[in-house]
Structure 1
Amino acid sequence: MPLCRPEQCASKPVVRAASLLQLDPDRSEFMNRRTLLRLAALGTFSAATLNSSHGRSLDDSELERALRTFGDQSPDSASASIVIEDGLTTVRHSVNADLPLFVGSAIKTFILAQYLKEVEAGRLSEEAQLDVGPKVWSPSSPVLIHLQGTTTARSVLEAMIAHSDNTATDIALNTIGPDKVRALIKSAGLDQTRIPDSTRILFSYLAGAPEGTDVGWAGISKVMAGTLPGPPRAAINDHQTMVSTAAEMTDWYRHVLAGKYFEKPQTLAEFKRISAMAGAIPQTIPLDIMGYGKGGNLDWNGFHCFSLAGQMVLPTQRVNFCFTINWTGDDASVPTTFSNYIKQCRHLLRMVAAAQLPLKVN
């Protein structure tokens, strides 16, 4: 959700609309909150040995080195978590997994889950027609921006995950209410995970509007043209943000994909169907391996972020993961950082998959 460069914010800022949950080599979408929240020091590396009779054994020392290399990308703001389960054992490998960082659109998984819970309870329907128009348009909406009329809730949820469409996100979030999503997050024990009231309220707040204010599409258009309603704010803050830890995101996928938060099998099936549509999954999980998840990226006022969380399905194991990096730098740092980030994510997941499948690790 890139909005402006530091030197531009001082005079006439240029704000770029961002897709809060797409991994894109030309954009990122996360924040720098050093002015509001202090990041814990890195160095909390942990790993355990998988005791499994399936396939080849996982080289823990090599995996540990790869995780340390991932953490070294941004020594004060990178974290990773890999949790491997085979039905008998649960093994965790991590680096700085409890470090709260901006994760961007990765939080959209919670909105999807709560919406489906409302459908499951009979309070909502995926067939319902939901309004689309300037009242809900939000930056970085490749599917629904500038469209007016109605579309099904199912199409809204798919656009939110498959294309990280922020207009779709706000339609879904406005329909169920952000407090219900926060209640789900709380019930899951995710104490450090936070979501905004909507992406448009988040954009408005970061651009300097008062807390809780939605400046409307006209106001957002002005922001994108370079006119902010107030001094720009840090993406990580105490009011409107998208923050979590690698440990919490990993545990979320462990439990939600096991059906813990749904009453009906068909609800879990629908959650999995839509979660499998996320564009970041085929970018990182080895070809022909099933995966679920959601990614996020942001550029804002010199702050950048990439994040990806989800689950990789192997024949005898479920591999839950989260990889997040936040950093500060100019826009020129984004393509190189993205290339390195995605390469390391792929490498880590291929290392784990290669212990069961005939994959070359590269």
Structure 2
Amino acid sequence: MLEQLKSLVRPIAALSAVVAAVVVAVPSFAADPMKVGFIYLGPVGDTGWSYQHDQGRLALERNLGSKISVRTVANINEGPDAERVARELSMDGYKLIFATSFGYMKPIMSVAAENPGTTYLVSSAYLNAPNFSGYNAKWHEGGYLAGIVAGKTTKSNIIGFVGPHPVPDVMWYLNAFTLGARSVNPMATVRTVFVNSWYDPSREQEAGNALINQGADVLTHFTNTPAVAIAAESKGVGVISFHSDMRRFAPKNYLTGLVHDWGGFYTKVVQNVAAGSWKPSPYMGGVADGVVKLAPFGPRVTQETADLVTAKQKEIASGRLNVFSGPIRDQNGQARVAAGSVYADAELGKMNWLVEGVLGGTSK
């Protein structure tokens, strides 16, 4: 009988140890909900940069429910306004603040220095402090895949790109997009127009129309609105959206789109802050993390192209394909990445040149 009892106790004890380990691994939230703030540069709207971050916020709330209390503040300009809002949130007891624009970096760093008990994360930021860090996405991975779609679709070999500002985030997407297009169509070129604004629907649409008039039969963009998709649809031109899935704006000519998904990242950060395990370190999420995704393919994308993109996506996710593997030359013919080398993710924030095949824009 004693041996029978021991045989029952052993598995129960083992199960108890497993349960204890699981309990220890779960982040511990305080009795009161953790207050989490989000600061957005523009309106949330129904597409674009702020919309995608807000979708991440919604996923965070679904994932953690009553453990958190979330407040969003939209339409906050970079500079003094951002500093004021971050300070107000900090004074109101918000222990974690996400600010979703590069221009918030320095104003919010000054607030972070005054509030060591609060954690601050700013998108596209490159500076770190004990309670401050940046986060970004590997646009180049999705850009390369989208470029393959464009290169396979174009008949004129002229692809149009509407950009906001020629800053590194935009340039590494444009470069990767061009490399992807030329990997399947060496004759493809990408004509660029920068509208010098993150949000200007009329100028974006004008730029899209101008590129179509120059012979572009596929358009893409890095701007915030569906204006380029609308322009493409009206002229029967293929379009690849950025930030969001915009197929409803171009039902006949939508090819795909690059979409960013921040829900998993936001959830993990909140859990780490709650557990006291968060450390300041720049974050770059890509295809493997599910941060960068492609929207569903539109009716003009062939099965052959879809299969090729899926295969390349798996190579990127596994690490077998690095988008910025050499040799790579810029649009002036200067070698930028040697054969056998790669352009490191850590250097992306310094990218101020454009690859061969890009027409217009800026290259230094």
Q: Highest CA radius of gyration, 1 or 2?
A: 2
* TM score, norm. by length of structure 1: 0.27
Between 1 and 2, higher relative CO (CA 8 Å, sep ≥ 6) is seen in: 1
* TM score, norm. by length of structure 2: 0.27
